[in-house]
Amino acid sequence: MSHPPEPRAIAALFRMLEPRLGLSAMGLIACEDARPRLVAATPALSRLWPREAPAFAPPPAGARVDPGALGLPGGMAAVWPLAPPFGLVVHDRRPRRLSPALAAALDDAALLLGPFLPAAPRARAPRAAAPPCPVRGAILPRAAAHRVIESALRAARRGGGAAPVLLMFGLDRFRAVNAALGLAAGDALLAVTGARLERALGPGGRVARLEGDRFLVIAEPEGDSPDALATRLLEVIRQPIVLAGRRLTTQASVGVVPPGAPPPAGAAPALLAQADGAMRRAKEDGRRMAVHEPALDDARLESSQLEIDLANAPGSGQMRLHYQPFVDLGTGEIAGAEALMRWRHPTRGEVRPTTFIPLAESTGLILPLGLWALRSACRAARRWPPGITLAVNISALQFHQPNFIAQVEQVLAETGFPAERLELEVTETVLMRDNPETLGTLRALIGRGVRIALDDFGTGYSALAYLARLPHHRIKLDKSFVGDLANPATAELIRAIIAQARANGVGVTAEGVERPEQIAEARAMGFTHAQGYATGLPEAELTLPPPRSRARG
């Protein structure tokens, strides 16, 4: 068996690591027959160590990382960011667990451990009824965080003081650290950050790690002002750390809920949401710190909650499709229908598409939503007569996905819907990438039999030159043009667009046709199709009237 280093060398190592890692409870143990013997320890760990040797469970080998990730000196074989259930089980009057955040092998027999958070007896604690508040290792669930906050509020109510200060910290670009340096380095960063916050806060506060890269701090209202405390802790987080051989300075954002009169019981979820909302605002505004402001944070919280609900809407049956017909102005009969998403929220009622579609596009949720709409619409349109076209909107984000063509092919194969009856409507934002990839995707879709329509044409980026260069089957002229047909300048522009479309052999649809007389005007102008309330309202089922009975304005 190899021997641990000399105690004098270990004491020097402790002195070096304490300011670097923000650790106070550290110790060197020698493992003999799975029973660790404490060789050297800082006073903080000595007070925690049991009189009888505890059982010891080593971490899995797969958890090992380079010791340089934490700036540890040479000679250490490996470092582990640890999490419960790993730890030292202490059998005193009742079993307790010492949960170290980090372990480093010095040789085959000795480990350096620290810091520790024991499940210590709570009788002497200032807030005796408070549940434990782990910083590192296991993530504290939201429900448990609510109980910690409620305990602090009860203590404030009993003592007649103000409610505690809540601070929500979120590390900036934490995902980039995981991606560049690995998950083990990210775990080490979280462990050291939690230890530093706990040490800087002192005995008058609490620190808990929540999900992801977030830390909740609960501080006494009598201490530093909330702004001063937040600034001081931000500086603590900014202290450099060496991860995977790289010196890294971590930035964070913090949301602050200042002290006030203790709210009634059950207010913890709202307070935690306020801190979270302020932290999100600090991140978005790039200001590092934001104090809770109800008008601003409630709006962000509302948007965040709506985003969560939107992600779950298709799977919970809240999202559905309605179909609005468009007519062939030459025959007056229905030529096809456009699939339109509708969202009926269980508590908000009908959410307008102008609300949830931009949210879906800005968050990336349009990708799963768009695929759901395409698959659901193709499955429903199989019941339509053979001559009816199905039009489905495709966002620019969907269109430019590398696997978009494969997704379309898969949906058509799954549903058995004919490709030649599917028309994909792409907006002018797709034209903003006028490059070989865009043209290649359009041509590949058309080559597979799918039709292409340019939607909302004329609203911003388009020009007549694009009609000749971009392969497509139909143009949908924006409703603002249809509503301004009496304007000579608008009418002249429309005639130019229609003339160019005819030269290219494609159809032109008048959107927003709301009155019967507009159907006649559109036909006289040279439009080939019309769509709007005058041709039919969006309905859950496409209803086909008897032939030649509609749109004969």
Specify the higher pLDDT residue, 370 or 85: 370
pLDDT for the residue 237 = 92
CA dihedral 88, 91, 93, 94 (to 10 degrees): 70
Tell me which residue has tokens 């906050």: 149
Confidence at 119, pLDDT banded by 50, 70, 90: very low
**Range scoring the smallest mean pLDDT among 55-59, 275-279, 340-344:** 55-59
Q: What's the rounded Cα separation, in Å, for the pair 27 and 445?
A: 65
Average of pLDDT values for 210-216? 85
**With bands split at pLDDT 50, 70 and 90, how would you rate the model's confidence at 100?**
very low
Which phi and psi angles does 116 have, rounded to 5°? -120, 150
Q: How confident is the model at residue 139 (pLDDT cuts 50, 70, 90)?
A: low
**Which of 150, 123, 148, 122 shows the shortest CA–CA distance to 133?**
148
Q: Per mean pLDDT, which range of 98-102, 365-369, 447-451, 547-551 is the poorest?
A: 98-102
Considering the domain 142-292, what is its CATH architecture?
2-Layer Sandwich (3.30)
Say whether pLDDT at 382 is over 90: yes
What are the CA-CA distances from residue 320 to residues 42, 313, 341, 542 (Å)?
Answer: 63, 9, 6, 14
Range 28-36 contact pairs with CB under 8 angstroms and sequence separation of 24 or more: 28/4, 28/106, 28/110, 28/111, 28/112, 28/113, 29/56, 29/110, 29/111, 29/113, 30/4, 30/109, 30/110, 31/56, 31/58, 31/109, 31/110, 31/111, 32/1, 32/109, 36/88, 36/111
Residue 88 contacts by C-beta under 8 Å, 6 or more apart in sequence? 36, 54, 55, 56, 97, 98, 100, 113
Domain limits, the chain: 7-118, 142-292, 314-531
Measured distance CA(327)–CA(298) in Å, rounded: 45
CB 79 within 8 A of CB 69: yes
Choice between 390 and 178, residue whose per-residue pLDDT is larger: 390
> What single string gives the DSSP state of each residue in 193-204?
HHHHHHHHH-TT
Task: Look at residues 169, 161, 166 and name the one whose alpha carbon lies nearest to residue 148.
Answer: 166
Give the model's pLDDT for residue 92: 36
- Kindly state the percentage of the chain with pLDDT values over 70: 67
**Domains 142-292 and 314-531 belong to one CATH topology:** no
Quick: pLDDT tens for 483-499.
777 788 888 888 888 98
What pLDDT, in 10s, does the model give residues 11-31?
665 565 555 444 455 555 554
CATH number of 314-531: 3.20.20.450
pTM of the model: 0.54
Task: Provide mean pLDDT across the span 100-123.
Answer: 42
- Determine the pLDDT at residue 207: 87
Q: Which residues of 514-553 are buried (b: 16+ CB within 10 A; e: fewer)?
A: eeeebbebbbebbbbbbbbebbbebeeebeeeeeeebbeb
